[in-house]
């Protein structure tokens, strides 16, 4: 077996000494090879004139169970073309304390692990790793390249506690995040359309929640685009404004019947969850609850009927389903339901447009869930721009 030539790991340098400097830490001293001239860091030309030498200690990839530190002289050359410039070292970026080999390894780890885990594994500082990862993301997804986008999805998400929001915009057909920005107002999303420029004319549909600010901004920049209101957000609002309100009202009417009141108060998730997601015991509880309480049974049935408007095969069929639902809501005698139906009438065009542009809710729900995962992994709280890059990287899109 041939001995390993350690100098091959650091072209242009040779190993002159190595020693253990701490537990599981190996220091390797390097010296430039005498036969190779240093090269200018700007023009890359050999430069025999050396102005000064400074020792630099850098980190390389681990060797078995040993962390590897390198100590080498970095020379400033007196280039006849560029003046006094730090030499070019192929395996070490200018001013860096990490070798290229280590940087590539760390970037691979950061793609799949939280920064805190990589920091614990390597012993490198959190901020060092965050800076490295942010630079990688800027190179990979930092540029705005929308391509031939035709359908957009827009949604807001909570950035921090205290009603601070950000907006994400993605290509609905390729499930690719195009842009993320602070705020959820017209002014907040305007930079996206300014970046889109003439491509605004090719947008044929935009899915969103019932956000008037988004609606108006889309109509200003993409007047030919159809606004499609998202089912997920409407049903979520129905749960808050109708089901929750009536459930509380029914519980208040049962003050003298504490067991029944307790059942109604604890029924929130039974009423909000889709029937196919209930366990057998939960389905039985739901049926017993609905059989005993007519108002809750009414709003529960109308929740599923409202969803059917979005799944209509045509605009005409959707209109028929909407008219039937609206009539039942008005005749229910339930004030929260009647108010919700009255407010929803203003958005009927965008609801019926889902028949022509079936941009369903699973896409937005998947985006929201993935953003929550990224937040739980502790990315982005110190630097929202970095957080936004993480979101873009999580949705690179699929080929058409």
Domain co-membership, 14 together with 82: yes
Q: Are residues 210 and 237 in the same domain?
A: no
pLDDT digits (tens, 9 = 90+) for 203-249: 999 999 887 789 999 999 999 999 999 888 899 899 999 999 999 99
Both 385 and 327 in one domain: the answer is no
- Reported confidence tier of residue 43, pLDDT bands at 50, 70, 90: very high
Place of tokens 């039937």: 324
Are residues 249 and 342 located together in one domain of the fold? yes
Q: Is the pLDDT of residue 132 over 50?
A: yes
Judge whether 102 lies within some domain. no
First to last CA, the chain: 51
Both tokens of 100, joined, read 């290229």
pLDDT of residue 255: 84
pLDDT of residue 1: 43
Decide if 166 is inside a domain.
yes
pLDDT (average), residues 164-170: 89
Q: Which residue has the higher pLDDT, 153 or 281?
A: 153
pLDDT of residue 360: 67
- Residues 302 and 210 grouped into a single domain: no
Q: Within a domain: residue 115?
A: no
* Total residues found in the chain within this entry: 400
What are phi and psi for residue 67, nearest 5 degrees? -80, 135
Residue 234 burial (10 A CB sphere; 0-12, 13-18, 19+): buried
pLDDT recorded at residue 3: 52
Does the residue 25 lie in any domain? yes
Task: List, for residues 31-40, the tens digit of each pLDDT value.
Answer: 999 889 999 9
CA distances from 71 to 9, 33, 36, 94, 122 (A): 14, 15, 19, 15, 19
Per-residue pLDDT at 377: 67
Asked if residue 145 is part of any domain, the answer here is: no
Domain shared by 244 and 339, yes or no: yes
Contact 129, 115 (CB under 8 A): yes
| Strand, coil or helix: 64 | coil
Phi and psi at 84, nearest 5°, equal -85, 115
CATH number of domain containing 375: 3.30.420.10
Q: Tell me which of 63, 92, 121 is where a domain ends.
A: 92
Mean pLDDT of 178-197: 93
271 in the same domain as 243: yes
Whether residue 12 is contained in a domain is answered as yes
The residue-averaged pLDDT of 280-299 equals: 87
Tell whether 85 and 41 lie within a shared domain. yes
Query: To the nearest whole number, what is the mean pLDDT of the chain?
Result: 89
**Strand stretches in the chain, DSSP E:** 13-22, 25-32, 50-63, 66-79, 83-86, 151-160, 164-171, 176-182, 205-208, 226-229
Domain shared by 303 and 268, yes or no: yes
Residue 68 CB contacts under 8 Å (≥ 6 apart), including other chains: 26, 28, 59, 60, 61, 62
Q: Is the alpha carbon torsion for 309, 311, 315, 316 positive or negative? A: negative
Determine what percent of the chain is predicted with pLDDT higher than 70. Answer: 94
**248 and 329 together in one domain:** yes
- The pLDDT-based confidence of 156 (bands split at 50, 70, 90) is confident
pTM: 0.80
Q: pLDDT-based confidence at 25, cuts 50/70/90? A: very high
Residue 380 confidence (pLDDT): 46
CB atoms within 10 A of CB 303: 17
Residues 112-143: b if buried by 16+ CB within 10 A, e if exposed = eeebeebbeebebeeebbbebbbebbeeebbe
Average pLDDT over residues 266-282: 83
Does the pLDDT of residue 44 top 90, yes or no? Answer: yes
Q: Which residues contact 197 (CB under 8 A, 6 or more apart)?
A: none
Which residue is associated with the tokens 């390597």? 122
Number of H helices, E strands in the chain: 16, 10
Do 244 and 310 share a structural domain? yes
- When divided into structural domains, the chain yields a total of 3
List the domain range (segments joined by +) for residue 293: 231-356
Residue 240 shares a structural domain with residue 352 = yes
């Amino acid at each position: 077996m041939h001995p390993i030539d350690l100098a091959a790991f650091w072209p242009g340098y040779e190993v002159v000494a190595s020693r253990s400097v701490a537990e599981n830490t190996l220091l390797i001293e390097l010296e430039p090879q005498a036969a190779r001239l240093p090269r200018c860091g700007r023009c890359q030309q050999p430069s025999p004139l050396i102005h000064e030498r400074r020792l630099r200690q850098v980190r390389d990839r681990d060797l078995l169970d040993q962390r590897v530190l390198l100590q080498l002289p970095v020379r400033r050359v007196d280039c006849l073309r560029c003046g006094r410039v730090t030499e070019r070292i192929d395996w070490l970026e200018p001013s860096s304390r990490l070798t290229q080999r280590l940087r590539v390894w760390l970037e691979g780890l950061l793609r799949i692990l939280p920064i805190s885990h990589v920091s614990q594994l390597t012993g490198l500082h959190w901020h060092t790793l965050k800076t490295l990862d942010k630079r990688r993301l800027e190179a990979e997804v930092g540029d705005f390249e929308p391509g031939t986008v035709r359908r957009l999805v827009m949604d807001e998400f909570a950035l921090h506690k205290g009603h601070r929001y950000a907006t994400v915009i993605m290509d609905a057909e390729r499930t690719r995040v195009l842009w993320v920005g602070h705020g959820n107002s017209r002014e907040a999303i305007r930079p996206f359309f300014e970046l889109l420029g003439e491509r605004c004319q090719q947008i044929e549909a935009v899915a969103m929640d019932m956000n008037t600010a988004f609606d108006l901004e889309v109509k200003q920049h993409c007047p030919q685009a159809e606004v499609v209101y998202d089912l997920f957000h409407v049903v979520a609002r129905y749960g808050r404004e109708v089901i929750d309100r009536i459930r509380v009202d029914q519980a208040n009417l049962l003050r003298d019947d504490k067991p029944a009141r307790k059942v109604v108060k604890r029924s929130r998730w039974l009423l909000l969850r889709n029937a196919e997601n209930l366990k057998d015991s939960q389905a039985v509880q739901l049926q017993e609850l609905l059989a005993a309480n007519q108002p809750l049974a009414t709003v529960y049935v109308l929740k599923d009927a409202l969803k059917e408007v979005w799944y209509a095969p045509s605009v005409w069929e959707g209109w028929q389903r909407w008219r039937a639902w609206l009539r039942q809501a008005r005749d229910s005698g339930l004030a929260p339901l009647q108010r919700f139906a009255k407010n929803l009438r203003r958005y009927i065009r965008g609801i019926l447009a889902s028949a022509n542009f079936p941009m369903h809710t699973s896409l937005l729900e998947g985006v929201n869930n993935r953003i929550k995962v990224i937040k739980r992994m502790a990315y982005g709280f110190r630097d929202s721009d970095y957080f936004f890059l993480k979101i873009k990287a999580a949705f690179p899109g699929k080929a058409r």
